[in-house]
Amino acid sequence: MSGLHNLLAHEVVEGIKEGLFTAEEYVSSVIKTIEDVESKLNSFITLDTERALSSAKLIDRKIKENEDIGYLGGVAVGIKDNISTKDIRTTCASKMLEDYVPSYDATVIRNLKQNGAIILGKLNLDEFGMGSTTEYSRYHPTHNPWNLDYVPGGSSGGCGAAVAAGECTVSLGSDTGGSIRCPASFCSVVGLKPTYGRVSRYGLISYANSLEQIGPICRSVKDIVLLMNIISGKDNSDNTSMSSSPITINNELNKFDIAIVKELINGGDHGVKGTIYSTSDKFKEIGCTCDEISIKNLHYALPSYYTLASAEASSNLARYDNIRYGFDLPIEEYKWDTYFSNVRKNFGEEVKRRILIGSYVLSSGYYSKYYLKARSLRSLLKLELLNLFKKYDLLIGPTMPILPFKFGEKIDDPIKMYLIDINTVIANLAGIPAISLPVGFSNGLPIGLQMMAAPFEEQKLIDVSYALENTINIQRRPSLI
Ligand code: GLN
């Protein structure tokens, strides 16, 4: 049976349960797609197709024996390669972890498996999640399925490209400053960064733990809901996790008060701006109000984010000392400090830059000048946003101020690269949920709408996204692939 790789996750589960096709037929169709397109896209770092096929056969046996297959029974999932998977190597796209095979599953992976999901493999990212294009992966860059000369966004670029191209049906990424939403926007798929604490981070290899969350990247809002209800919840292994009510798909939409944030939309690409304004007209069609507002403290967001994220990274990455993880370097030849710095040379340029910035802003004499100041600015911004949410249900703007761009365009200038995160880092600093929804194209390149809500108000994001998804008529699959 062909074309099964095009199905959405909820269609796959229903199809298998109703006996329309077997899990093996469906997984084979996804693997065939990988064989056809992976040489062009390079979405994966590690594939685990043999084990995926035997898991599919197990699902089919369960169906025959009338056993429950779970809410994700048979669905082929791709996982960003910074989420620990037992017995599948987890590299963080770094040479430091080239041979690292975790001995345990992240909580989200355990949840997926308990619900019948099939792990297909590990998806590409910028090294340790630091970047916005996958060009900082130490293995290979991933290509955008809508135009192979363009970046897919990052850092979860492998997730965005693989889901858009049908190399997996859904995926899990992580978002520290936009890494789920940026590739979702650039690859025309849906990506949700949950409220900080809704999803356990146990088993997510830390980059900046006060900012990051694991979340789904899918081809439909319904699939986002399906995955969120499986991965959310209190986990004793992560003290920052909290329980929350399940999210549902509602066919009736409440009248929401929405605000377009001027600063998020001005100064960006012309085509992006036009598409976001015409989408905002649709809000009125679906019965919502739409004002235009300003976030006064927005200009503090990027400096505060890059100070705090680098500070946390410098501390989190100190563990890569070649004692617990690393390479075969003969210890006798080196003094300890020479040995240590030789090992640390194996980080890529961007990761080294972050470690240096982070160590600097945390060092004595500079701690209050940079680190503490960045923390105060973070609180100021968060307070302003929480106040805005007293008046508005959602704050919106483009996910990315610009369209996807060609490889090499920004890689030589880190500041240029950091600047494109301006719209996404806000949600991480404030710990609030944010979604990126495909809403159009300009010059054949995708545009995503970002919507942010108050903490734990994911339901509002889903309600509006679902209504918009049904209203907006755009090409859903890349024709190149
Ligand atoms: N581009 C941002 C950074 O480099 C965000 C990355 C992320 O969310 N992991 O830090």
Q: Tell me the per-residue pLDDT of 208-237, one tens digit each, with 9 for 90 and over.
A: 999 999 999 999 999 999 999 999 999 999
Closest-lying ligand 1 atom to the alpha carbon of residue 175: 8
Residue 481's pLDDT is what? 66
How much is the average pLDDT of 391-397? 98
Decide: 166 and 5 in contact? Cβ < 8 Å.
Answer: yes
User: What pTM was computed for the model?
Assistant: 0.97
Could you tell me if the CB of 421 is within 6 A of ligand 1?
A: yes
Residue 340's pLDDT is what? 83
Cis peptide before 155 (omega within 30 of 0): yes
d(CA 75, CA 112): 10
Which residues lie closer than 8 Å to 395 by C-beta, 6 or more apart?
Answer: 258, 259, 261, 293, 295, 385, 388, 389, 451, 452, 453
Decide: 323 and 329 in contact? Cβ < 8 Å.
Answer: no
Structure tokens at 359: 């160590």
d(CA 323, CA 343): 10
Q: Which residues pair with 85 in a beta bridge?
A: 88
64 part of the active site: no
Structure tokens at 290: 């739409």
d(CA 409, CA 284): 38
Could you tell me if the CB of 309 is within 6 A of ligand 1?
A: yes
Closest-lying ligand 1 atom to the alpha carbon of residue 131: 4
How much is the average pLDDT of 420-441? 98
Could you tell me if the CB of 131 is within 6 A of ligand 1?
A: yes
Residue owning the nearest CA to atom 10 of ligand 1? 130
Could you tell me if the CB of 179 is within 6 A of ligand 1?
A: yes
d(CA 427, CA 422): 10
Residue 15's pLDDT is what? 98
Q: What is the pLDDT of residues 41-90, one digit of tens each?
A: 999 999 999 999 999 999 999 999 999 999 999 999 999 999 999 999 99
The least confident of 122-126, 200-204, 421-425, 467-471 is 467-471
Q: In testing the pocket of ligand 1, which one of 133, 155, 419 has its CB within 8 Å of the most ligand atoms?
A: 155
Structure tokens at 144: 């955008």
Residue 1's pLDDT is what? 60
Question: Of the listed 179, 200, 244, 304, which one is catalytic?
Answer: 179
- Structural domains in the chain? 4-254+435-471 (3.90.1300.10)
Q: What is the pLDDT of residues 132-183, one digit of tens each?
A: 999 999 999 999 999 999 999 999 999 999 999 999 999 999 999 999 999 9
How much is the average pLDDT of 360-368? 96
Neighbour order of strands in the sheet with 118-123: 44-47, 118-123, 76-80, 170-175, 213-218, 190-193, 434-442, 445-452, 394-398, 257-261, 289-293
155 part of the active site: yes
Tell me the CA–centroid distance for residue 185 and ligand 1, in Å: 14
| φ/ψ (deg, to 5) at 351 | -65, -40
Residue 441's pLDDT is what? 97
CA dihedral angle for residue 147, residue 215, residue 213, residue 173, rounded to 10 degrees: -40
Question: Of the listed 28, 43, 62, 80, which one is catalytic?
Answer: 80
Closest-lying ligand 1 atom to the alpha carbon of residue 132: 1
Q: What percent of the chain has pLDDT over 90?
A: 91
Tell me the CA–centroid distance for residue 192 and ligand 1, in Å: 15
Tell me the CA–centroid distance for residue 295 and ligand 1, in Å: 22
Closest-lying ligand 1 atom to the alpha carbon of residue 130: 4
Residue 327's pLDDT is what? 77
Give me the residue label for tokens 């088993």.
Answer: 203
Decide if pLDDT at 480 tops 90: no
Query: Over the chain, what is the mean pLDDT?
Result: 96
Helix (H, G, I), strand (E, B) or coil at 173: strand
Q: Report the first-to-last Cα separation within the chain, whole angstroms.
A: 19
How much is the average pLDDT of 389-394? 98
Task: Count CB neighbours of 444 within 10 A.
Answer: 14
Structure tokens at 156: 């979860």
Residue 323's pLDDT is what? 81
Question: Of the listed 29, 43, 155, 200, which one is catalytic?
Answer: 155
d(CA 147, CA 149): 6
479 part of the active site: no
pLDDT band for 342, please (50, 70, 90 cuts): confident
Cα angle value 33/39/40 (rounded, 5°): 90
Closest-lying ligand 1 atom to the alpha carbon of residue 156: 9
